[in-house]
Amino acid sequence: MITMENKTNILMQRYEFGRLLGQGNFAKVYYGRSLATGQSVAIKVIDKEKILKVGLINQTKREISVMGLVKHPNVLQLYEVMATKTKIYFVLEYAKGGELFNKVAKGRLKEDIARKYFQQLITAVDFCHSRGVYHRDLKPENLLLDENGNLKVSDFGLSALAESKRQDGLLHTTCGTPAYVAPEVISRKGYDGAKADIWSCGVILFVLLAGYLPFHDSNLMEMYRKIGKAEYKCPNWFPPEVRKLLSRILDPNPYTRISVAKIMDNPWFRKGMDCTHLRTSVEDKEKVTLNADTLFDPKQSCSGPSTDTKLKVTKPCNFNAFDIISLSTGFDLSGLFVRNDQKEEVQFISKNSAPSIITKIEDIAKCLRLKVMKKEGGVLKLEGLNECRNGTLSIDIEIFEITSSFHLVEVRKSSGDPLDYLKMLKQNLKPALTEIVWAWQGEQQH
């Protein structure tokens, strides 16, 4: 049996425990060190029993999934997830500089320093949004600094994925920290997660430059009234261009509020900008592939990342959210050897259910006069009725379940002439599949 911590403070023969860095109601964070590499890490220890009692299981699962999706230089990285029967361990990037809040607590920051942090914040938020992730609790306490003073967005416990939207395309969970929350979140009428995050970024910018909150009142309802009307006053040392930018960000109307793209085009924002991190993911040296559901299985103890990448079962199978990382453009290396239009195996992500995907494929096959067969392992086989140059063309289609709302579909040639396959893929299959495709692997999502 795997032990949590032994007498020498060693976790699962992989990490050495150190001093306590901080603690909350349900977790403690310790300094740690990898025994294999000597790398400093932070180890977040979550008590299973406590989160089970207060119903935070789904929130913990979501945090794991989200942190696996957002690999960026200005987002705190999750290296590994491990579990025993009573504890869950997040092995995280160690942010030696602590919370940005501690810097602001000492007084307002100089304009250039505040702008650098704001640039890094917006760049990270833009990347999260491009991956369908909305943080929903942005504040200086959740912004950490590494040893070089670079900002790291952390604590995705209240975050939401694009799949959390209702049919109206909006999020409906009221959450966040009152002083930083957008007016439309308070109104409980549904809100755009991206626009809500932008508002919080505006409050953070104000705090960095002023040293105090734009909306503050001992009476919570009065503070909400001020937020709803964007009733704030800039101190006299704010430059005119900052006042103008803030008026666009702290716009109580989410429909006219400035977008991230427009913020990034703003001349004040771009001054001295390091553009190397724009929409750039970091190299995924140790991809986490642990299924979050197994963390709450009392029969299992889990250690380290799983090495299984090919799933062979008789139904659409659980494809962990972390594996989405490998499907993004940044990690698709096949382009170094084969052009996108020459690949014999392509993958796409769909927001449709597995039955609707299968129905659509069967309809397409009927139109193309292809025979449909079901193979072992839940694989659909499309087969041509006429023999071609190198035998009968045969295409295998396999569906993997990422979440209840996302499926990965893999299309590959199993036999026949490659040119006939590529021609059918380009001219017939891809155009016909458009309405159920959310994103093709290796192709930029717009």
Residue 44 known to bind ligand:
yes
Specify the amino acid at residue 365. Answer: A
> Tell me, what's the pLDDT at 317?
42
**Residue 83 and residue 18 share a domain:** yes
Q: Per the confidence metrics, is the pTM higher than 0.95?
A: no
Q: Which of 47, 112, 137, 293 is catalytic?
A: 137
> Tell me, what's the pLDDT at 118?
97
- Kind and range of the H or E run holding 387: strand 379-388
Residue 446 covered by a domain:
no
Residue 308 covered by a domain:
no
**Residue 103 and residue 73 share a domain:** no
pLDDT at 214 over 60: yes
> Tell me, what's the pLDDT at 446?
41
> Tell me, what's the pLDDT at 11?
84
- Least Cα distance to 158 among 92, 78, 70, 60 occurs for 60
| Residue range(s) defining the domain that contains residue 53 | 10-94+284-296
Q: Edge-to-edge, what's the strand order for the sheet holding 10-11?
A: 10-11, 15-23, 27-34, 40-47, 87-93, 78-83
Question: Where do runs of H (alpha helix) occur along 211-339?
Answer: 220-228, 240-249, 260-265, 267-270
3-class DSSP state of 286: coil
> Tell me, what's the pLDDT at 331?
37
Query: What is the average pLDDT across 341-353?
Result: 75
| CATH number, domain with residue 24 | 3.30.200.20
**137 a catalytic residue:** yes
> Rounded distance, CA 289 to CA 445, Å?
23
Q: Which residues contact 175 (CB under 8 A, 6 or more apart)?
A: 136, 137, 158, 185
| CATH number, domain with residue 338 | 3.30.310.80
Residue 64 covered by a domain:
yes
**pLDDT interval class at 303 (50, 70, 90):** very low
Report the relative pairing of strands 391-403 and 317-318 from DSSP bridges: parallel
The whole-chain average pLDDT of the chain stands at 79
Number of domains the chain contains: 3
